[in-house]
Amino acid sequence: MTATAVTAPRATRKPPTWDAIRENVPAPGTAEGAYFHYTPAEAAEWLPFSAHKLRRMVHARQIPYVDNGNRIWFSGMNIRAISEQFTVQPFSKNAA
């Protein structure tokens, strides 16, 4: 009698889909986009940061975000506030 190795079937779990970019997402500057909730991947399309960097900045409490349970969301107003937060104004000389 020989023993054969019995292996368990592999799990067919899909990766999380909350970071997928949805279709027909309104722009943050529009009326529909002001209160629309964007995932970090969707917000990264409008900001100069990656989705991973946005998550790290949220955990460090450096940027505004929407706290709905255990997921990170950004409203259109949050995206505009983040953009303004990191906008560098030009240097203006004092009138002599």
Domain ranges (residues) in the chain? 37-85
Q: Which pTM was predicted?
A: 0.73
Query: Quick one: pLDDT at residue 89?
Result: 86
Query: Quick one: pLDDT at residue 3?
Result: 66
Angle at 85 between CA 84 and CA 90, to 5 degrees: 70
Where helices occur in 1-96 by DSSP H, the ranges are 40-44, 51-59, 76-85
Over its length of 96 residues, how does the chain's per-residue pLDDT go in tens digits? 666 777 777 767 665 566 678 889 999 999 999 999 999 999 999 999 999 999 999 999 999 999 988 889 999 999 999 999 999 888 877 766
Name 67's bridge partners: 72
